[in-house]
Amino acid sequence: TQLLEQSPQFLSIQEGENLTVYCNSSSVFSSLQWYRQEPGEGPVLLVTVVTGGEVKKLKRLTFQFGDARKDSSLHITAAQTGDTGLYLCAGARAAGNKLTFGGGTRVLVKP
Amino acid sequence: DTGVSQNPRHKITKRGQNVTFRCDPISEHNRLYWYRQTLGQGPEFLTYFQNEAQLEKSRLLSDRFSAERPKGSFSTLEIQRTEQGDSAMYLCASSLEGQWDTEAFFGQGTRLTVV
C-alpha cells in the first residue's frame, strides 16, 4: 500500500496542451517535493512545498500544496516535448526525515 | 561537479555474488539516504545516516544488505549473496540537517542486474 497515490499513472498529450498530475494521501506531511526522472537517471528535484495552501510557480510548472498538507498537484501549461519524463511526488513527515514516494506519473508529450 | 556521485553506474553480477556500491554525497550534507527503485515504481526507502550514525533501516533491508558511512562522508551499500529480486536501481541522496524543508538531492543511481 502506497502512502502517496499519484494519478494518473500515465499521461500522453500533444505539445501545447496542459496537464495536471495529482498526489494524494491520508497522511499529513511536513513538506512535499516534486521530482522529474529521466530513464536511467536519478530523480531531479523540481520544487519543495511546505505550507498548506502554498502555490509555487516554476516557469510553465505550477505546484500546489493542499490546505491540510495531505495532497499536492503539478500543473504544466503548454507542455513541450522536453517535459516528457517520470514525475514523482515525495513527502517527508519531519524535517530531514526520509521521503515517502508516490508511484510516479509517466508523462509523454508528443510533437 | 558538486552533486551526489554514485559508482558504479551499472553492475551486472551472477546470483550468489556479493556487490558493493559507493555514494559520495554533497560535501556539506550530513544526511545520506539509500533508496531502491524497481521498474515502473517510485523509489523505496532503505536506510539513512546522520553523519556516521545509521539512524533508520527499512524492513526491506534484509540481513544480506549492509550499509556503512565510516567517516560521515561517503557511504557504501553491500549486498551479499545476491538474488534476482535484488535487481533494481539503487539511489543515494543527501540533505543538510537543519533544513526544515528537507530538500534531498539524488545521485544518478547504480543499476544492478543479477543474472
> Which tens digits make up the pLDDT trace of A49-95?
989 999 999 999 999 999 999 999 999 999 999 999 999 999 988 76
Identify the pLDDT of residue A81: 96
Cell of A87: 514525475
> Which tens digits make up the pLDDT trace of B20-36?
999 999 998 889 999 99
- Nearest CA to A69 among A96, A95, A31? A31
Angle CA B5–B6–B11, to nearest 5:
155
Across the interface, do A101 and B43 touch by the CB < 8 Å criterion? yes
Cell of A44: 531531479
- The answer for B 33-72 residues in CB contact with A (under 8 A) is 33, 35, 40-45, 48, 50, 56
Q: What's the 3-state SS for chain A?
A: CCCCEEECCEEEEECCCCEEEEEECCCCCCEEEEEEECCCCCCEEEEEECCCCCEEEECCEEEEECCCCCEEEEEECCCCHHHCEEEEEEEECCCCCCEEECCCEEEEEEC
Compute the distance between CA of residue B101 and CA of residue B97 in angstroms, rounded to an integer: 10
Identify the pLDDT of residue B18: 98
Across the interface, do B99 and A96 touch by the CB < 8 Å criterion? yes
Query: Regarding beta strands B88-95 and B31-37, do their DSSP bridges make them parallel or antiparallel, or are they unpaired?
Result: antiparallel
- Taking CA atoms, A86 is separated from A40, A50, B18, B20, B97, in Å, by 11, 22, 31, 27, 28
Residue found by looking up cell 554514485 in the block:
B6
> Which tens digits make up the pLDDT trace of B36-47?
999 889 999 999
For residue A103, the chain B residue with the least C-alpha distance is: B42
Answer yes or no: are the C-beta atoms of B14 and B86 closer than 8 Å. no
Q: Which helix (H) or strand (E) holds B38?
A: none
Identify the pLDDT of residue B81: 97
Across the interface, do B95 and A96 touch by the CB < 8 Å criterion? yes
Residue found by looking up cell 505546484 in the block:
A63
Identify the pLDDT of residue B100: 53
